Structure 1
């Protein structure tokens, strides 16, 4: 999939994980309460607000995606009720203060109908001894139940919006062995291939992605072929061999983009332009320029060195990373 859905939190954090994810996917979605759409400056954290404004993250109102939010959450409550042993453990955890907060508008149909959830998902969790209303439109929910409820909601929404649910949160959810294995493989590959600094110009990042979308798709395909192959398990010799090859190809492309093609550029472009401009007529004059580039010619030469990065031919899918490293660092 080209797009993903971030959960369980509202704000995408300013971390290396987030920057790698922004580079790897076309767009990130985040499940956002309805009130955030009306007052983004008041509700979002600063980094998340910048991501939304630059259209790198798309806020998703679950009530606009789910046609029957209450009916859709009933199977989740049934799952909890049918496993009495886990329910008792969760109730004890809730009494001991192991809790997480969920905003009511992630399930509410309208801002003014907060009270209706006394009869819906949160009412059901309250009756099970796993939730209570805390402040305004927030509910305190037993920690593992809150995590699983957000994973349940993220799975529903990602399926309906054709996104891949993903998280930087490491605690376990229900039935996620295969999902975790693929996610961890992907994270290991990307953390090795994209060691970017925390300071990146987000406007430049968006422009870069839009310009190089075919390269991004080629790179993602290359990585996903490894991630989705059940025969390539993380920490296996085959996995490390694939990872080493990707790193080698990326380094080779980066070296090609940075190496000097002095003579080719000089004879093919710079000297031709400077010669026409200055009326160069003899080989000796040209040779003199080669020996000591004038300031103007040197400036043109330097600019062409920058522009030539896009001309590097690549069949490995790693050109996207080599260009990203060259283009979007601050």
Structure 2
């Protein structure tokens, strides 16, 4: 199971609602960044720079990580595409997108030669938007398999995922479950809030992710999932809701039980004790504190507790 996410298609991760769910679910979020950004971090957007400095987003460079054989596959795909669409590729500026030369390697000039890329704006190549979308999906998929990266590709809602179609169902199911387990409010969440939450509850994250991924795999293994998709997802959400309620109730009831059995009598002890001799009160308090901590710790070790704490916090 992968622990990190690889964001694409752009260099700068956007300040969007879906991002905070991604930051809470994965250990790290990586972004495909040309080497020049390492030496000139002022090229990042202010928000991206904040993410990088707080190590919530880790830049990874694509240079040398994709084999020439893989680039050849994309080149042949581009040739087939241009035979179908011809000169219509560059009709209208709004249909073009820019891709950094470091992501393309020597593939850039080969694409220029067959008429599906332009290199008028160094260090960027201009490509038809459809082809650029396909290329960024292609590079994300290949980089995600690199032994130094090993991350699940993630992107914003609605971005074309042509090359990632085999992962589409798994991604869709995961997103559906996480929308329920880690709902993000409409109000803006600060980076500091995310950092503080992961500092407090990060020890639960791995087990929580294992728990979710197992459910995702179980759902995706169902043969007729597309016919009964909504019903299957709703069943999983119902199970999650029951488990969350059990944890919430356990956290509340344990405190109430301890309060009524020990804390209230404790105040009686405190009242009846001589002010000059408060030792019985202190001794009782010293017994109850570890008891409460032990009971709460037992419940809070449940994988679903991560979701419960996130809903409480955000």
Deviation at residue 282 of structure 1 after TM alignment: 11
Cα distance change on mapping 1:129 and 1:279 into 2, 3 Å: farther
Aligned length: 293
Q: What is aligned with 2:43?
A: 43
Return 5+ residue gaps in structure 2 as ranges: none
Match of 1:73 in 2: 71
> Which residue of structure 2 aligns with residue 94 of structure 1?
90
User: SS in structure 2 opposite 1:228?
Assistant: helix
Deviation at 1:321, TM superposition (A): 1.2
Secondary structure of 2:162's match?
Answer: coil
CA shift, 1:72, in A, is: 4.4
In structure 2, what is the equivalent of residue 112 of structure 1?
none
1:245 aligns with 2:239: yes
Shift in alpha-carbon separation, 1:260–1:309, aligned structure 2, 3 A: closer
CA separation of 1:10/1:319 partners in 2, compared to 1, >3 Å: closer, same or farther?
Answer: same
Mark the CA change 1:139 to 1:313 in structure 2 (over 3 Å): closer, same or farther.
same
Matches of 1:208 and 1:59, distance apart in 2: 22
Q: Which runs of 5+ in 1 are unaligned?
A: 109-119, 287-296, 298-302
Give the whole-Å Cα distance in 2 for the aligned partners of 1:130 and 1:24: 38
Inter-CA distance 269–211: structure 2 relative to 1 (3 Å threshold): same
1:195-274 residue pairs with structure 2 within 5 A? 195-197=183-185, 198-229=187-218, 230-232=220-222, 233=225, 235-257=229-251, 261-262=255-256, 264-265=258-259, 268=262, 271=266
Contact 1:101/1:139 (CA < 8 Å) preserved in 2? yes
Aligned to 2:108: 122
Could you give the per-residue CA deviations for residues 302-323 of structure 1, whole angstroms, max 9, x where no partner exists? Answer: x99x989952516762101112
Instruction: Please say if 1:132 is aligned against 2:121.
Output: no
Is the alpha carbon distance of 1:29 and 1:91 closer, same or farther for their aligned partners in structure 2, counting shifts above 3 Å? Answer: farther
In structure 2, relative to structure 1, the CA distance for the partners of 1:154 and 1:310 (3 Å cut) is farther
Secondary structure of the residue that 1:221 maps to in structure 2? helix
- Whether the aligned pair in 1 keeps the contact of 2:119 and 2:126 (CA below 8 Å) is yes
Question: Alignment partner of 1:239: what SS?
Answer: helix
Offset at residue 182 of structure 1 (A): 1.0
Greater Cα offset, 227-236 or 127-136: 227-236
Alignment deviations for residues 260-292 of structure 1 (CA, whole Å, 9 cap, x no partner) = 8356247657948x9499556699xx8xxxxxx
Residue 80 of structure 1, CA deviation: 2.3
| Match in the other structure for 1:191 | 179
After TM superposition, the score normalised by the length of structure 1 is 0.75
| Residues 52, 171 of structure 1: alpha-carbon distance in 2 compared, 3 angstrom cutoff | closer
Q: Secondary structure at the match of 1:102?
A: strand
Which SS does the other structure have where 1:33 is aligned? coil
Q: Structure 1's 213 and 238: CA in aligned 2 closer, same or farther, altered over 3 A? A: same
